Amino acid sequence: QVQLVESGGGLVQPGGSLRLSCAASGRTASAYVMGWFRQGAGLERQLVAAIAWSGESTYYTDAVKGRFTISRDNAKNTVYLQMNSLKPEDTAVYYCAATTRWLKLKVGDYNYWGQGTQVTVSS
């Protein structure tokens, strides 16, 4: 079992950047594929990016390709989401999640979740 805690959200202007962090405790994070999901107001929760156990593979949804970068530091049990060129449509609660399988895109495929961190992109 692993516990996940997100941080780094906030208010940013369009075109700005934020870096989200997800700290894992309990079982070592390297045992899991990690994903970042987001859920905008009135929308379904969707996978934004995922990274394999040692970072050997990554996945991005089309809407964030070229702007977001997922990475992990297994020595620190931490996963990051660097978000650049932010747009108002990126506004959402961002969740970190863990699964033991690659590549899973659905909410139900992830076993462990953080509490979420709000990202608001507005001028």
pLDDT of 1 reads: 84
pLDDT band at 119 (very low <50, low <70, confident <90, very high): very high
pLDDT of 29 reads: 76
3-state secondary structure 36-74: EEEECCCCCCEEEEEECCCCCCEEECHHHCCCEEEEEEC
Give the residue-averaged pLDDT of 73-102.
96
33 forms bridges with which residues in the sheet?
Answer: 99
pLDDT of 71 over the 80 cut: yes
Cα atoms in the 13 Å half-sphere on the side-chain side of 13: 1
26 forms bridges with which residues in the sheet?
Answer: 2
| Distance (Å) of CA 57 to CA 49, 91, 104 | 11, 26, 13
11-55 pLDDT tens trace: 999 999 999 999 998 878 788 999 999 999 999 999 999 999 998
